[in-house]
Chain A
Amino acid sequence: MNVGVLVFPGSNCDHDCAHVLKDVLGQNVTMVWHKESSLAGLDAVILPGGFSYGDYLRTGAIARFSPVMQAVQQFAAEGKLVLGICNGFQILLEAGLLPGAMLRNKSLHFICRETYVKVENAATPFTNACKPGQVLKIPIAHADGNYYTDPVTLGGLQANAQVVFRYCTVDGKVVPGACPNGSLDNIAGIRSAQGNVLGMMPHPERCVETMLGNEDGRHIFQSMLSFLEQKKVAEVR
């Protein structure tokens, strides 16, 4: 599969994503500079974590106007896979590809630690390798991960199974105490109404290898690859 990893000034998880896809999972990876205007030939794109434009004004606020984001809008509208991780999620929110906004963490701290997230929807292109309700251990590293949206939008997200990950305890209980940042409804990741765009605050690219002590993040990338593989098979038929 051909996966593009977008690179904004200030992205810093771009090479981690590329490493996972290329060296661990054996896929073709193209680094796409934010000034590019085409995503031709790609099956999926990843907006990596980092501090695009130094988080000036608001996280993701400036990056969303990068030329490449025009192409990402088109790419998403065509139903192709778009995954935003951490700052990538923040950019997708600012770009309006996903609903809502990020507030500063309730504690005001930058939080960098392992979290547990519950897979609330295992029937997505990003989670099909998971069991429904499976608990994944994936680290977070952010200061602005306190997801907020208005009650009507939140109701829509819940009704359409767009909430894909919720912060939970190690045994899968979604309780306020398991939420690291104050996020509404313990939200850690959501997908678009169409289902092909996912934003998540935890960093799956940081936990894909046994050497690193945790492989739970592999499920996300493996799901995307299986989805694309099946799509290809269906197209050939």
Chain B
Amino acid sequence: MKAKIHVTLKSGILDPQGKAIEHALDSLGFKHVANVRVGKYMELDLQEADRAKAEVAVKSMCEKLLANTIIEDYRYELTA
């Protein structure tokens, strides 16, 4: 099973990188852009056929290491 994990700063937390990119887009003429948020994307293979067990494992990985839940949210997709 493959897990695709997205980690982003929680809404409401200042994202200076997002802001910098927003300004750059603005100066390129993309005037209709707002709320740029930068995150991390990770993917990994799991030696696990059971979807429920894979989900428990990925959730635990996110909570313990992949995301800092004080400042970040995470979401994931599992694909066969």
Interface residues, chain A, CB within 8 Å of chain B? 57-58, 61, 65, 94, 100-101, 103-108, 146, 148-150, 182
Given contacts A146-B16, A149-B70, 15 further A-B contacts (CB under 8 A): A57-B66, A61-B65, A61-B68, A101-B70, A101-B71, A103-B9, A104-B16, A105-B16, A106-B14, A106-B16, A107-B16, A108-B20, A146-B14, A148-B71, A182-B16
Are B68 and A101 within 8 A (Cβ)? Answer: yes
Contact A57 B65 (CB under 8 A): yes
User: Which residues of B5-21 are within 8 A (CB) of A?
Assistant: 9, 13-14, 16-17, 20
* Bound CA–CA A61/B63 (angstroms): 12
B76 to chain A, nearest CB (A): 16
Contact B71 A103 (CB under 8 A): yes
Contacts of A58 in B (CB 8 A): 68
How far is A103 from B16 in the complex, measured between Cα atoms in Å?
9
Partner of B17, one of A108, A148, A150: A108
Q: Could you list some 6 contacts between A and B, CB below 8 A?
A: A61-B65, A65-B65, A101-B70, A103-B14, A103-B16, A108-B17
Query: Which chain B positions have C-beta within 8 A of A150?
Result: 70
Residues of B within 8 A of A149 (CB): 70
Q: A107 vs B16: C-alpha distance in the bound complex, in angstroms?
A: 7
Taken together as a complex, chains A and B put the C-alpha atoms of A108 and B18 apart, in Å, by 10
* A182/B14 contact (C-beta < 8 A), A57-B65, A65-B65, A101-B71 known: yes
- Report the bound CA distance from A65 to B20 in whole Å: 32
> Who on chain A is nearest to B71 by CB?
A101
In angstroms, how far is the closest chain A Cβ from the Cβ of B21?
10
Once the chains are docked, how many angstroms separate the CA of A183 from the CA of B18? 18
CB distance from A150 to the nearest CB of B (A): 7
Q: Are A148 and B70 in contact (CB under 8 A)?
A: yes
Residues of A close to B65: CB separation below 8 A: 57, 61, 65
Across the interface, do B16 and A108 meet the contact criterion of CB distance under 8 Å?
A: yes
Q: Which chain B residues border A148 with CB–CB below 8 Å? A: 13, 70-71
Per-residue CB contact flags for chain B residues 50-75 toward chain A (1 = under 8 Å, else 0) read: 00000000000000011010110000
Q: How far is the CA of A91 from the CA of B9 in the complex (A)?
A: 19
CB distance from A95 to the nearest CB of B (A): 11
B66, closest chain A residue (CB): A57
Q: State A94–B66 Cα separation when bound (angstroms).
A: 12
Of residues 25 to 80 in B, which have CB atoms within 8 Å of A's CB atoms?
Answer: 40, 65-66, 68, 70-71
In angstroms, Cα B66 to Cα A153, docked, is 22
Smallest CB gap from B38: residue in A: A104
CA gap between A101 and B10 in the complex, in Å: 13
Q: How far is the CB of B5 from chain A (nearest CB, A)?
A: 12
User: How far, in whole Å, are A189 and B13 apart by their CA atoms in the complex?
Assistant: 20
Q: Which residues of A contact B68 (CB under 8 A)?
A: 58, 61, 94, 101
